[in-house]
Amino acid sequence: MSVTQFRSQEGSASAPVPVTFQTLQAKKQAGTPISALTAYDYATARLVDEAGIDLILVGDSLAQVVLGYDNTLPVTMEEMLHHTRAVRRAVRRAIVAADMPWGSYHLTVEEGVGNAVRFVKEAGAQAVKIEGGASRVELVERLTDAEIPVIGHLGLTPQSVNRMGGYKVQGKSIAAINELLHDAHALESAGAVLLVLEGVPREVAARITAEVGIPTIGIGAGPDCDGQILVIHDLVNLSFSPPAKFVRQYGDAAALFRNAIEGYRQDVEARAFPADSESYHLPKDVAPVFDRSPLRQKA
Ligand code: KIV
């Protein structure tokens, strides 16, 4: 490690101390909640990072909230890489994790490793997230061998929407709970550094959180997880759909944008924008000459 690299881990007034997975592990041990949010672009990622959020996920929810698809299945590697790069350029403190899109790790383990490497090498991601349990063990082991931290994702896994028959809370029967517990342990043993638990009963998330050694991050999984994550568009009312039960809106960006856009349109239509003070003017020595000069004749 170079001296510069070492210094950057100590932090300074202008360069904050970067969050690491060791930081998150210590938070679990200390019972300190971990904060996580999604972000997909430079401006939002800057705000999220500057607000002190620990982990920023470039989620494949990008497909819906940014690209307007009905579900997460169509989003491509190229689209995910493009947005991960934008987020990477904005973030100085939080961990940046990239969601592996559906189809990028489902064919072969080799392809999954290759695509994860692209997130790290081409977009600067520090970790990748994959959906699924015990069936992903080999992939998690290979990624861990390749020095890529893996975030597992269990419960309501949106990439399984067709198999699940919709977005339904998972882990409601004893058999399903046992399977979730088995999956959580399998992912941890394979080397996963974090587990996202989505759409599971509070009691189940609490049991998994107590049983595994790695931090759990909940979304629709109750307050007993080691941390929480939400989709930023849900948090600020930019999703254009009724919020799910587990969403709390902390602001109304839609109203803010609507008011601003409406005000702009009205001003343009009334010739109230731009004002003279918002216009450029000729230099003082050119203005009189310009005023006296005849109009150019048409040829
Ligand atoms: O894609 C996503 O945004 C996610 C999280 C909300 C966990 O997977």
Q: What is the 3-state secondary structure (H, E, C) of the chain?
A: CCHHHHHHHHCCCCCCCCCCHHHHHHHHHHCCCEEEEECCCHHHHHHHHHCCCCEEEECCCHHHHCCCCCCCCCCCHHHHHHHHHHHHHHCCCCEEEEECCCCCCCCCHHHHHHHHHHHHHHHCCCEEEEEECHHHHHHHHHHHHCCCCEEEEEECCHHHHHHHCCCCCCCCCHHHHHHHHHHHHHHHHHCCCEEEEECCCHHHHHHHHHHCCCCEEEECCCCCCCEEEECHHHHCCCCCCCCCCCCCCCCCHHHHHHHHHHHHHHHHHCCCCCCHHHCCCCCCCCHHHHHHCCCCCCC
Q: Cis (ω within 30 of 0) for the bond into 274?
A: yes
Q: Do residue 264 and residue 186 come from a single domain?
A: no
Ligand 1 near 38 CB (within 6 A): yes
Binning pLDDT at 50, 70 and 90, where does residue 12 land?
low
Is the dihedral angle over the CA atoms 90, 103, 225, 144 positive or is it negative?
negative
Q: Do residue 67 and residue 177 come from a single domain?
A: yes
> What is the maximum alpha-carbon separation in the chain?
89
Q: Is 179 a catalytic residue?
A: no
User: Which residue CA neighbors atom 4 of ligand 1 most closely?
Assistant: 59
Domain range for 158 is 3-251
Q: Do residue 128 and residue 241 come from a single domain?
A: yes
- First-to-last CA distance in the chain? 71
pLDDT of residue 178: 98
pLDDT of residue 14: 74
Count how many domains the chain has.
Answer: 2
> What CA–CA distances, in Å, run from 127 to 3, 24, 114, 270, 282?
24, 13, 14, 51, 53
Six token digits for residue 226: 């080691």
**For residue 299, is it within any domain?**
no
Q: Report the C-alpha gap between 104 and 81 in whole angstroms.
A: 12
Ligand 1 near 99 CB (within 6 A): yes
pLDDT of residue 72: 97
Q: Do residue 264 and residue 244 come from a single domain?
A: no
Of the residues 198, 211, 262, 269, only one is catalytic, namely 198
User: Which residue CA neighbors atom 8 of ligand 1 most closely?
Assistant: 59
Q: Do residue 163 and residue 276 come from a single domain?
A: no
Q: Do residue 266 and residue 237 come from a single domain?
A: no
Instruction: Kindly report, residue by residue over 33-42, the tens digit of the pLDDT.
Output: 999 999 999 9
Q: Do residue 207 and residue 285 come from a single domain?
A: no
Mean per-residue pLDDT over the chain, rounded: 95
Q: Do residue 235 and residue 278 come from a single domain?
A: no
Ligand 1 center from residue 61 Cα (angstroms): 6
Where a domain ends, among 251, 267, 282?
A: 251
pLDDT over 80 at 296, yes or no: no
Nearest alpha-carbon partner for 38 in 20, 18, 14, 63: 63
Least confident interval from 90-94, 146-150, 240-244, 290-294: 290-294
Ligand 1 center from residue 60 Cα (angstroms): 6
Least confident interval from 30-34, 194-198, 284-288: 284-288
**For residue 214, is it within any domain?**
yes
**For residue 234, is it within any domain?**
yes
Q: Do residue 178 and residue 111 come from a single domain?
A: yes
Phi, psi of 172 (to 5 degrees): -105, -10
Ligand 1 center from residue 125 Cα (angstroms): 15
pLDDT over 90 at 11, yes or no: no
Residues ≥6 apart with Cβ < 8 Å to 238 = 65, 232, 253, 254, 257
Ligand 1 center from residue 215 Cα (angstroms): 16
Q: Do residue 264 and residue 159 come from a single domain?
A: no
pLDDT of residue 174: 98
**For residue 39, is it within any domain?**
yes
Q: Do residue 238 and residue 263 come from a single domain?
A: no
Ligand 1 pocket test, candidate residues 60, 64, 247, most atoms within 8 A of CB: 60
Ligand 1 near 231 CB (within 6 A): yes
Residue 132 pairs in a beta bridge with 153
**For residue 298, is it within any domain?**
no
Ligand 1 near 157 CB (within 6 A): no
Instruction: Kindly report, residue by residue over 121-172, the tens digit of the pLDDT.
Output: 999 999 999 999 999 999 999 999 999 999 999 999 999 999 999 999 999 9
Q: Do residue 120 and residue 242 come from a single domain?
A: yes
pLDDT of residue 94: 98
pLDDT over 60 at 53, yes or no: yes
